[in-house]
């Protein structure tokens, strides 16, 4: 990975909770989508905006329209997990994120995935990103899409 | 238990999901609170009202102010579970439920508990039950409290 | 859809729980993966085997290696949900499921998706389906793959 | 609170996830039990032992036998939350924890609670704490119980 690309990823960490494991002794697979969401929120914070404020101040929501996860290796209880997130595309009315989930202790890739979102108002109609957030979201885009 | 008391309990069933288990091979304990909620909603339906409608039509919410659970025996993956719910007290501005969780296959008691709720509006202020729902909730009360 | 295809889908129903909603007023998206799992288990039951027994009797696990969900329309609190599941491919060491999630009241498609699984032992090594389960799983396959 | 008592609490922080909210716009109440568990694990770590290692090395489990939560004020999406945990009693075959959950921004108490646990082996029989862990757990006890 080039240095330019590396700068584009936001990183955050979560510790695996007992509640997230299942009786197979590993993290239940739907929890990775929750960790992706943790990653998205921190990416937004890294780029100068708070997802909560966007929602409450501008009644703008980013519902997930598509999610795709490839599970590479199990996550286990009490593991420290790194969630790496980047914006693939930020358009006027949609945004597309990519994720990597790694085990902090040895850097092993546990999962990777993507989510697509549309921009919606409270009534469930598509809308455009509010201008301030459009700029910040585009600033978070990876170089190849600029 | 007297026949009168037995009539006061509402019963509903849930099947244990894989996602609800943890790496100890049993249901993670916080899920019992979610099953209690399933029980409350079905008790309401049994007494002629829909909790969702009350929330959306009258902006009345019933947040939990206190929860107490005693765990007797573990619930396991794919078990069919009976949730028994009754109203202990229904007051103008609060309601108090009791629960029993049993394994359907042998009737074994897995957990019992209680939750207390206050009646609130959307802004988080206490209010009274809307009249229609007050009547229905009082009708659900156990005989001893009438 | 032809009658032959229709026979291949297993159907089960879930009622949306309050705990499954989020502050946008709809079901949080990761819960659809949990409903898919409910669908898989019921498909297995429909074809004469119990996933729990396979796990406990033969130490065979079916971890998810890939999941893909397209979200079409939001699910809401207290909605009755139909989960339709079918086997796309059942191989010696893997299985591939497809899902449709519909709102029971009007048949509206809320989401569709797929999950891929490999057959594993308790130590996390790939293995073949135990013979009995291989037959049953293949019997569940859609006609086009026979 | 005396300085002595203050030293006895372990503190850890969590950030409220979108998945933890419900359609009333606040954190769904069962999640506080999951945060209590996060608090317990960090208290153990603060006192020199890793709950995961105790489980895997000595096949010792600490299932919850009783949980009690009083909800004081709602937690909201993206809030930074402080979980304060202390040991009330540590006995040979049981342990009793207390918790306080506060909003970091203003120190407001959101919930408080207690959980009781017994010491069990993998087969579900009660046992004593392994000696090493017994010492460490007793060391975590509050002064008043020493």
The verdict on whether D78 is a catalytic residue reads: no
Q: DSSP per residue over C65-128, as a string?
A: EEEEEEE-S---TT-EEEEEEEEEEE-SSEEEEEEEEEETTT--EEEEEEEEEE-B-TTS-B-P
Hey, which residues 67-86 in chain C have their CB within 8 Å of chain A? 67-71, 74
Which residues between 123 and 142 in chain A have a beta carbon less than 8 angstroms from any beta carbon of chain D? none
Mean pLDDT of chain A: 91
Reply yes or no on whether the pLDDT at A22 is more than 80.
yes
pLDDT at site A145: 41
Q: Is D19 on the interface with C (CB under 8 A)?
A: yes
Instruction: State which residues of chain C have pLDDT below 70.
Output: 1-7, 141-146
Which of B123-127, C118-122, D130-134 shows the lowest mean pLDDT across its residues? Answer: D130-134
Question: Which one of D24, D67, D126 would you mutate to disrupt binding with B, by most B Cβ within 10 Å of its Cβ?
Answer: D67
pLDDT value at residue D146: 36
Interface contact C37-B17, CB threshold 8 A: yes
pLDDT, one tens digit per residue, over D79-112 is 999 999 999 999 999 999 999 999 999 999 999 9
B24 touches chain C (CB under 8 A): no
> Average model confidence (pLDDT) for chain B?
91
The answer to whether the Cβ–Cβ distance between A67 and C29 falls below 8 Å is yes
- Which of B19, B34, B41 lies nearest to residue C37, judging by beta carbons? B19
Tell me: pLDDT of D113 over 90: yes
Q: Which two tokens stand for residue A24?
A: 């197979």
D52 Cα to chain A: minimum distance (Å): 7
pLDDT band at A146 (very low <50, low <70, confident <90, very high): very low
Q: Has residue D3 got a pLDDT over 80?
A: no
Distance from C119 to chain A by nearest Cα, in Å? 13
Judge whether D54 and D60 are in contact, CB under 8 Å: yes
Contacts within 8 Å (CB) and 24+ apart, B119-128: B119/B60, B119/B61, B119/B62, B119/B92, B119/B93, B119/B94, B119/B95, B120/B60, B120/B61, B120/B62, B120/B63, B121/B59, B121/B60, B121/B61, B122/B59, B122/B61, B124/D74, B126/B93, B127/B60, B127/B93, B128/B92, B128/B93
**Calpha distance A103→A83 (Å, rounded):** 9
Residues of A in contact with B75 (CB under 8 A): none
Give the one of B24, B65, B74 whose C-beta lies nearest to D71's C-beta: B65
Set of chain D residues whose Cβ sits within 8 Å of the Cβ of C18 = 22-23, 28
**Cross-chain Cβ contact D18/C21 below 8 Å:** no
pLDDT of residue B7: 56
> Residue A22 carries which DSSP code?
-
The string of DSSP codes covering chain D is --HHHHHH-EEEEEE--GGGB-TTSSB-TTHHHHHHHHHHHHHHHHTT--HHHHHHHH--B--EEEEEEEE-S---TT-EEEEEEEEEEE-SSEEEEEEEEEETTT--EEEEEEEEEE-B-TTS-B-PPPHHHHHHHHHTB-GGG-
Residues of chain D contacting residue C26, judged by C-beta atoms under 8 Å apart: 23
Number of Cα atoms under 13 Å in the Cβ half of residue C65: 13
Contact A22 B18 (CB under 8 A): yes
pLDDT at D137: 83
Mean pLDDT across B14-33: 98
Contact: C70, A65; criterion CB under 8 Å: yes
- A35: closest CA of chain B, how far (Å): 16
**Contact yes or no for B78 and C50 at CB 8 A:** yes
Helix ranges restricted to H, A15-130: 31-46, 51-58
Q: What's the pLDDT score for residue A49?
A: 87
pLDDT digits 0-9 by tens, A92-130 = 999 999 999 999 999 999 999 999 999 999 899 999 999
Contacts of D94 (CB under 8 A, 6+ apart): D65, D116, D117, D118, D119
pLDDT band at A32 (very low <50, low <70, confident <90, very high): very high
Partner C contacted by D61 (CB < 8 A): no
Indicate whether B57 pLDDT > 50.
yes
Chain C CB contacts of D77 under 8 Å are 23
What is the model's pLDDT at position C141? 64
Partners of residue A135 on adjacent β-strands: none
CB contact under 8 A, D30 and B31: yes
* Residues from chain C contacting residue D28 (CB–CB below 8 Å): 18-19
Give the rounded percent of residues in chain B with a pLDDT score beyond 90: 79
By the 8 A CB rule, do A20 and A31 touch? yes
Does A24 contact C63 at a Cβ distance shorter than 8 Å? yes
Contacts of D78 in chain A (CB under 8 A): 41, 50-52
Q: A49-63, B129-143, D18-32, D47-61: which range is least confident on average?
A: B129-143
Q: How far is C8 from chain A (nearest CA, A)?
A: 25
Residue B77: closest C-alpha in chain A = A23
pLDDT at D135: 86
Name the more confident of C62 and D132: C62
CA distance, residue A44 to nearest chain D CA (Å): 12
pLDDT of residue B5: 52
> In the predicted model, is pLDDT for residue A142 greater than 80?
no
Residues of C in Cβ contact (< 8 Å) with D25: 23
Report residue B145's pLDDT band, with 50, 70 and 90 as the boundaries: very low
D21 contacts D31 by C-beta, under 8 angstroms: no
**For B84-105, what is the mean pLDDT?**
96
Interchain contact, B38 vs C51, CB within 8 Å: no
Here the ipTM equals 0.92
Chains with 3+ CB–CB pairs under 8 A to C are A, B, D
Judging contacts by C-beta atoms under 8 Å, the chain D residues touching residue C23 are 18, 21-26, 77
Is the model's pTM score more than 0.95? Answer: no
CB pairs < 8 Å spanning A and C: 52
Helix C51-58 / helix C31-46 crossing angle, nearest 10 deg: 80
Q: Which chains touch D (3 or more CB pairs under 8 A)?
A: A, B, C
pLDDT at residue A137 in the model: 83
What pLDDT score was predicted for residue D141?
64
Measured between CB atoms, does D52 come within 8 Å of chain A? yes
The answer to whether A66 contacts chain C (CB < 8 Å) is: yes
CA dihedral C6, C9, C13, C17 (to 10 degrees): -120
DSSP state of A129: P
CB B62 within 8 A of CB B53: no
């Amino acid at each position: 990975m080039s240095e330019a690309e590396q700068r584009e990823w936001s990183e955050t960490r979560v510790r695996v909770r007992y509640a997230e494991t299942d009786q197979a002794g590993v993290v239940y697979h739907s929890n990775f989508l929750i960790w992706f969401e943790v990653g998205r929120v921190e990416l937004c914070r890294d780029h100068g905006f708070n997802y909560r404020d966007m929602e409450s101040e501008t009644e703008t929501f980013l519902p997930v329209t598509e999610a795709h996860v490839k599970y590479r290796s199990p996550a286990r209880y009490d593991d420290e997990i790194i969630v790496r997130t980047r914006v693939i595309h930020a358009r006027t009315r949609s945004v597309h994120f990519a994720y990597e989930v790694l085990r902090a202790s040895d850097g092993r890739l546990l999962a990777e995935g993507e989510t697509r979102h549309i921009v919606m108002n409270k009534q469930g109609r598509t809308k455009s990103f509010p201008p301030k957030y459009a700029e910040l979201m585009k600033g978070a885009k990876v170089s190849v899409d600029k």
